[in-house]
Amino acid sequence: MSRAYNFCAGPAILPTEVLQQAREEMLDWRGTGMSVMEMSHRSGEFVAIAKEAERDLRDLAGVSDDYAVLFMQGGASSQFATVPLNLLGDKSSADYINTGIWSKKAIAEASRFADVNVAASSEADGFTTVPDQSVWHTNPDAAYLHYTPNETIGGLEYDFIPESGSVPLVADMSSTILSRPLDISRFGLIYAGAQKNIGPSGLVVVIIRKDLLGQARAQTPTMLNYQVIADNDSMYNTPATYSWYLAGLVFKWLKARGGVQAMGEINRRKADKLYGYIDASDFYANPIEPRFRSWMNVPFTLADDSLNSAFLKGAEERGLLNLKGHRTVGGMRASIYNAMPEDGIDALIDYMQTFEKERA
């Protein structure tokens, strides 16, 4: 067997070294005679694993003690409801920026709990750009301002952190967290489904400024109440222990590679190389305004859509997997998260060149 280059948008490729360690420890974690997934979440062993993962995440992302770090379940989609349930407080309205399919989903769910003000949208531009903040119609009295820094499907990424004044800034960081340095202190709340840059699915990491805790609406399900989860170190009930452990292994892997500073440089190199090749070609194209191109998700089209299946088939034969674009966008998409090695980009470009030569 050999490991494929898996360009899936999520669940996504994980570092081979992390999977190797998980394999080694599967039946017996450090001589305990147990797999991590067999451990009581309240055992000394697991609590140590959990705390170390949190510490490493804090180190990596630069999360100060002003913030609580929560390891929850239900993915980012659960957070679409959990955020308004917890952050509206005595306000009724929240601002959202609409830059793609994930923004829209967050907006649709929040609208069930709050008066949502879509303060800006790039829908009329086919989500190929981010509206300049000068034209945003934000509400200074909003409970919070929500945006999606990286649109996984469209391949659009903000190159700036919005200025929100005293309104807490909330971001769905699922597909960009830990991919480059980020000033966490600018945010009220960040959430990120794990299955892109953190670990396996079934885990969602929430980083929340502590002064925003304690505002949950009366009928918030207890398991969605940030205050309860924070007060119980994410162990109000049994957490997703094995996913938490694997996230910890990924954090160690990132630290060993120089953290987000180094990853940011590698990721920029990977993205530049791939976009550079696409732009230089007349056969491949990417529609996003260059400064807002995602470092993590690179959609591209072929000059002739009827070649798509031949392209995908040839890619698979070379172990370049899951390049098919999202059905709403079409074409191809290469998700190139932290765990995608630079060799994977080279292999993809090499194949794209060959395919273009044969078919163009």
195 is in an annotated binding site: yes
Q: Does the protein bind a second copy through residue 8 (CB under 8 A)? A: yes
Q: Say how far apart CA 21 and CA 253 lie, in whole Å.
A: 11
Residue choice 321, 341, 347, 359 for contact with a second copy (CB under 8 A): 321
Q: Does the protein bind a second copy through residue 193 (CB under 8 A)? A: yes
User: Has 196 been annotated as catalytic?
Assistant: yes
Kindly name the residue from 196, 252, 270, 324 that is annotated as catalytic. 196
Work out how close the CB of 287 gets to a second copy at its nearest, in angstroms, rounded to a whole number.
23
Q: Does the protein bind a second copy through residue 19 (CB under 8 A)? A: yes
Work out how close the CB of 282 gets to a second copy at its nearest, in angstroms, rounded to a whole number.
30
| 286-324 residues labelled b (16+ CB within 10 A) or e (exposed) | bbbeeebbbbbbbbbbbeeeebbeebbebbeeeebebbb
Residue choice 221, 258, 276, 330 for contact with a second copy (CB under 8 A): 221
User: Has 102 been annotated as catalytic?
Assistant: yes
Q: How many CB atoms lie within 10 A of CB 10?
A: 20
Q: Give the range of 140-148, 222-230, 295-303, 345-353 binding a second copy by CB under 8 A.
A: 222-230
Q: How many CB atoms lie within 10 A of CB 105?
A: 15
Q: Say how far apart CA 108 and CA 44 lie, in whole Å.
A: 42
Torsion, Cα 77 83 84 86, to 10 degrees, reads 140
291 is in an annotated binding site: no
8 Å CB contact between 39 and 46? yes
Mask for 245-284, x = binds a second copy (CB under 8 A) = -x--------------------------------------
8 Å CB contact between 147 and 95? no
Q: Which is nearer to a second copy, 130 or 336 (CB)?
A: 336
Q: Does the protein bind a second copy through residue 154 (CB under 8 A)? A: no
Residue with tokens 């601002």: 95
8 Å CB contact between 268 and 277? no
User: Has 357 been annotated as catalytic?
Assistant: no
Q: Say how far apart CA 113 and CA 83 lie, in whole Å.
A: 10
Q: Which is nearer to a second copy, 7 or 67 (CB)?
A: 7
Q: Say how far apart CA 83 and CA 225 lie, in whole Å.
A: 9
DSSP E strands: which ranges in the chain?
Answer: 5-6, 67-72, 93-98, 115-121, 145-147, 150-151, 156-157, 169-172, 189-193, 204-209, 284-285, 297-302, 320-321, 332-335
Total residues belonging to the chain = 360
Q: Does the protein bind a second copy through residue 77 (CB under 8 A)? A: yes
238 is in an annotated binding site: yes
Kindly name the residue from 102, 136, 244, 295 that is annotated as catalytic. 102
Backbone angles phi, psi at 238, to 5 degrees: -70, 120
Work out how close the CB of 310 gets to a second copy at its nearest, in angstroms, rounded to a whole number.
19
Q: How many CB atoms lie within 10 A of CB 104?
A: 18
Work out the burial of residue 358: count CB atoms within 10 Å of its CB; fewer than 13 is exposed, 13-18 middle, 19 or more buried.
exposed
197 three-class SS:
coil
Chain positions 23 to 62 lying near a second copy, rule: CB under 8 A, are 23, 26-28, 31-35, 37-41, 43
Q: Give the range of 77-85, 138-146, 252-260, 264-272 binding a second copy by CB under 8 A.
A: 77-85
Mask for 88-127, x = binds a second copy (CB under 8 A) = ---------------------x--xx--------------
Kindly name the residue from 56, 104, 172, 295 that is annotated as catalytic. 172
User: Residues binding a second copy: what is the number (CB under 8 A)?
Assistant: 69
What residues are labeled active site? 102, 172, 196
Q: Which residues bind a second copy (CB under 8 A)?
A: 1-4, 6, 8-14, 16, 19-20, 22-23, 26-28, 31-35, 37-41, 43, 73-78, 80-82, 85, 109, 112-113, 193, 195, 199-203, 218-219, 221-224, 236-243, 246, 319, 321-322
Binding residues for pyridoxal 5'-phosphate: 76-77, 102, 152, 172, 195, 237-238
Q: Which residues are annotated as a binding site?
A: 42, 76-77, 102, 152, 172, 195, 237-238
